[in-house]
Amino acid sequence: MAADPPLFSAPPVDELRAALGGRLRRRLGSMPDAALVDLLADTVFTERKRVSHDGGAPEYLTAVEHAARALHAGDRPGMERAAVALVEAYAGEIHNPFSVRTYRFATKLLPGLLTRLLSTTRARDLVSKSTDPAQRIRLHGPIDQLRRLAATSTLILAPTHVSNLDSPLIGYALYAAGLPPFAYGAGLNLFENPVMGFFMQRLGAYTVDRRKRNRLYKDTLKDYSVEILGRGHHSLFFPGGTRSRSGRLEAKLKKGLLGTGLDAWQESLAAGRPRDVFIVPCTLSIGLVLEAESLIADSLAEEGKQRYIMMDDEFSEPRTIATFVRKLLALDAAVHVRFGQPMDVTGNPIDEAGQSLDPHGQPVDRRGYVCDRNGAVVADEQRDHLYTQRVADRLAEAYQRDLVAQSTHLAAWAAWATLKSAHGAKDTWQLVRLSPDEAQVPRTKVLARIEEGLAKIKAKGRYLAMPSTAEAVLDEALARFASFHRQRALDPVGGQLRLAPELVLYYQNRLVGWKELA
């Protein structure tokens, strides 16, 4: 691990307000009156509706009402000033100052805190006696290359999103890999815990209020991302947008923030201060997920059009979080973080030196993708959309390729396949409603499917973090499932295995994209 990774110094909030306001003013210069009216009207309507339900800061409410009055007056300069005032209010809410002092304190504190959590876990909860956090959170991938790139370029880390615990886990993984801190967007609800909020506000997190759905706010978030990337701050985006409700790896990715890397790179070229921006896939594999029960319930409710009952989110209970983290970290190598091969902002893979490569592995000049023959950047929205789509496609492929399968995933896959075979005519929603007596399958049949699955995924060269025999895989999965959830996903009953179908569905969904198991 690098002793002292370079740290960024976030600009003061007033500087960010001015920068984002300036970006909007430049766009307004070419915006027709009708488009400006639509933009402000959408903001006023959606924000009045939201504020009436959720409330808002006095400064923010003032900006919304100022925009309403400007709309009513129909005065172009007044509408422009109102739009800029709203953006500056948004910027003050989004931006949090990074503290080098807090970062250094946290990185000294965290390993010891994790060790203490592990050492205070009761012996009956332990699978392994080691209390070294590095043995619990395993890092994989081209880490040396990423360290070199981080020193000269700007990196965008694009991870899969499993749980609300992902951000601190990735933060620790970056520190353990000797990489610098990354800026990242975090939902407003995560700042409500005073201790977590204190550290997040000072360790690179910027605030994202997902209740704000108007276009002006979304544009401000994108401008904020372009601005900090342009200043050389490494950033972390969850391209899936939110936690995977179903447990599946993300396939359809949101391209809004993802495209800001391309924007920042082109701005650096146009300004004559070229700085490369590279995107790094990151696949998280966790043996147990704190919110699994409520996430799969949410997914079933959405897919089944409210045919399923919603549950509260376990992440809202601080004591539950602490208990889960302790038990998760007590498991041997329960978390795997795989950094994927970096790519440029047009979706090309890069070599060790950061040179873009074509599909045949030959070097290409990526500037030629966005510049004319004289080296001037050419604006082309449609072209940029296609490049960003290609990046999204490459990320989805990387997630499937880089996933580290765990025993809980494979055992759940085998159990679910056996249950489906026994109730072939039933759909997913019928299966998850089976009674405890109906949701039972022979242990021998599950073992046979695990053995079959192991053979197929080993032949394919997939990444595995589990024992080498079917019996050992099942035993490990049963022990892990028994360690936390209120109901056991798989529970041995004589020669049978009783399923909690919702949980089994959630964990088996992680392997859905693996064609060899289809």
Q: What is the pLDDT of residues 479-499, one digit of tens each?
A: 999 988 888 999 999 999 999
| Residue 142 and residue 342 in contact, taking contact as beta carbons nearer than 8 Å | yes
Q: Measure the CA–CA gap between 51 and 44, rounded to whole angstroms.
A: 10
For residue 7 the two structure tokens come to: 């740290």
| Residue 486 and residue 500 in contact, taking contact as beta carbons nearer than 8 Å | no
Q: Measure the CA–CA gap between 137 and 125, rounded to whole angstroms.
A: 18
> For a pLDDT cut of 90, what percent of the chain falls above it?
64
**Three-state secondary-structure class, residue 465:** strand
Question: Closest by alpha carbon to 44, among 66, 22, 73, 74?
Answer: 66
- Residues 238-252, mean pLDDT to the nearest whole number: 93
Q: What pLDDT, on the 0 to 100 scale, is given for residue 12?
A: 84
| Residue 479 and residue 452 in contact, taking contact as beta carbons nearer than 8 Å | no
| Residue 139 and residue 177 in contact, taking contact as beta carbons nearer than 8 Å | yes
Dump the DSSP string for 396-427.
Answer: HHHHHHH-EEEHHHHHHHHHHHHHHHHTTT--
For residue 285 the two structure tokens come to: 């594999």
Sign of the Cα torsion 23, 29, 35, 37 reads positive
Q: Measure the CA–CA gap between 353 and 514, rounded to whole angstroms.
A: 32
For residue 357 the two structure tokens come to: 């490569």
283 half-sphere exposure, CB direction, 13 A CA radius: 26
Phi, psi values for residue 440, rounded to 5°: -130, 145
Q: Which of 42-51, 90-99, 130-139, 185-194 has the lowest mean pLDDT?
A: 130-139
Higher-pLDDT residue of 508, 186? 508
Domains along the sequence of the chain with CATH: 13-94 (no CATH), 140-197+205-315+335-402 (3.40.1130), 405-517 (no CATH)
Q: What pLDDT, on the 0 to 100 scale, is given for residue 181?
A: 86
pLDDT at 360 over 60: yes
pLDDT at 103 over 90: no
Q: Look-up: residue for tokens 């959720």?
A: 54
Q: Which of 150-159, 327-336, 372-381, 462-471 has the lowest mean pLDDT?
A: 327-336
β-bridge partners, 277:
154
Q: What pLDDT, on the 0 to 100 scale, is given for residue 326?
A: 62
Amino acid at position 118, single letter: L
Q: What pLDDT, on the 0 to 100 scale, is given for residue 91?
A: 93
Q: Measure the CA–CA gap between 142 and 276, rounded to whole angstroms.
A: 18
What beta strand segments (E) does 124-276 contain? 137-140, 154-159, 183-187, 205-208, 235-236
Q: What pLDDT, on the 0 to 100 scale, is given for residue 126?
A: 36
Q: Which of 33-42, 58-67, 317-326, 382-391 has the lowest mean pLDDT?
A: 317-326
Phi, psi values for residue 509, rounded to 5°: -60, -20
For residue 208 the two structure tokens come to: 């994202």
pLDDT at 517 over 80: yes
Put simply, whether the predicted model's pTM sits higher than 0.75 gets the answer yes
Q: Find the farthest-apart pair of alpha carbons in the chain and give their distance in angstroms, rounded.
A: 78
Question: Closest by alpha carbon to 51, among 218, 214, 215?
Answer: 214
pLDDT at 55 over 70: no
Q: What pLDDT, on the 0 to 100 scale, is given for residue 169?
A: 84
Q: What pLDDT, on the 0 to 100 scale, is given for residue 353?
A: 92
Residue 276 has a CB neighbour count (10 Å cut-off) of: 17
Amino acid at position 213, single letter: R
